[in-house]
């Protein structure tokens, strides 16, 4: 139904914009016919995207206003629209149907290429889900933390005006930022009391462990550096390398703010969550020393506009005394 409605919309747009009365296309119609054909392809793309957003919002029970529409690239639709126009012209030409059918092989190859891209993308997403589930099993205190950090990272990146490719990179970095916890002993991750200096040093190795785990995953790109450096601080007192200021990759500075924000607004077995407003104020207080002020301001604007759903990441009761966290604003 989605494809049928999109095709009907494209046909209606073309019919309203086509040059001259309805008749067979010929050489005299070029290049004037290209503009309505392009408009029809764009109409197909837009209607298909809107219908897809409606279906997703209904299936996931997300209000329409809470989800920004993700418009697909119009390039494939324009290419296929041009191929369809070429077939129509050739079909009505003296060469007839055999000439029109010659357009089908390249269209078939194009469809195969796009299908392969979508299969690879699905495999990438399955890989990320598997890694996230492994971390959640290792450290149930923070289950779901990576996915929320990924969402918060996208809020920041979108507010900064980053492109769609960078948005996806930042989302992956936020989602997988704690993958290195797979290399930290379980007894340390699940310890209820304060960590000893040796245990803290072990935990502080998790960015390097994470970077080693994902080093060979090519599609992560810049996200690998964000995983390695998301605990660096703007004043140079972070870890693992003590980078400062602009030397810290931009994606890592985004993830650092998103990580601390979700850590503060999530109820865990060893402490209660802070209210969202209080967490944003704390991030603002640490801006310039621990966090990049641009990222903090971007998150504040995005959360004030779109809201944020806090989380409980443990089924256990919260004790009256909270476990001391790391220096500065706590991170996941």
| Active-site amino acid positions | 181
Query: Cα–Cα distance between 186 and 205 in angstroms, integer?
Result: 14
State how far the Cα of 228 lies from the Cα of 230, in Å rounded to an integer.
Answer: 6
């Amino acid at each position: 139904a989605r494809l049928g409605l999109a095709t009907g919309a494209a046909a209606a747009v073309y019919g309203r914009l086509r040059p001259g009365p309805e008749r067979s296309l010929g050489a005299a119609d070029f290049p004037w016919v290209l503009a309505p054909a392009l408009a029809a392809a764009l109409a197909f793309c837009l209607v298909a995207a809107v219908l897809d957003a409606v279906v997703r919002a209904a299936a996931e029970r997300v209000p329409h206003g809470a989800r920004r529409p993700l418009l697909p690239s119009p390039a494939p639709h324009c290419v296929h629209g041009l191929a369809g126009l070429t077939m129509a012209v050739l079909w009505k030409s003296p060469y007839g149907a055999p000439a029109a059918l010659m357009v089908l092989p390249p269209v078939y190859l194009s469809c195969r290429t796009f299908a392969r891209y979508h299969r690879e993308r699905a495999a990438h997403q399955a890989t990320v889900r598997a890694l996230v589930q492994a971390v959640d099993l290792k450290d149930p205190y923070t289950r779901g933390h990576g996915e929320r950090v990924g969402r918060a990272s996208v809020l920041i990146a979108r507010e900064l005006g980053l492109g769609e490719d960078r948005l996806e990179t930042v989302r992956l970095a936020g989602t997988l930022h704690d993958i290195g916890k797979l290399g930290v002993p379980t007894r340390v991750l699940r310890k209820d009391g304060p960590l000893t200096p040796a245990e803290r040093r072990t935990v502080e190795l998790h960015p390097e462990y994470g970077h080693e785990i994902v080093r060979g995953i090519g599609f992560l790109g810049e996200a690998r550096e964000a995983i390695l450096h998301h605990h660096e601080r703007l004043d140079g007192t972070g870890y693992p390398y003590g980078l400062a200021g602009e030397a810290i990759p931009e994606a890592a500075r985004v993830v650092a703010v998103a990580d601390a924000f979700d850590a503060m607004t999530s109820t865990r077995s060893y402490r209660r969550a802070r209210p969202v407003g209080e967490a944003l104020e704390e991030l603002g207080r640490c801006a310039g020393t621990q966090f990049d002020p641009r990222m903090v301001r971007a998150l504040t604007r995005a959360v004030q506009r779109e809201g944020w759903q806090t989380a409980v990441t443990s089924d256990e009761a919260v004790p009256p005394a909270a476990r001391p966290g790391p220096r500065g604003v706590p991170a996941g």
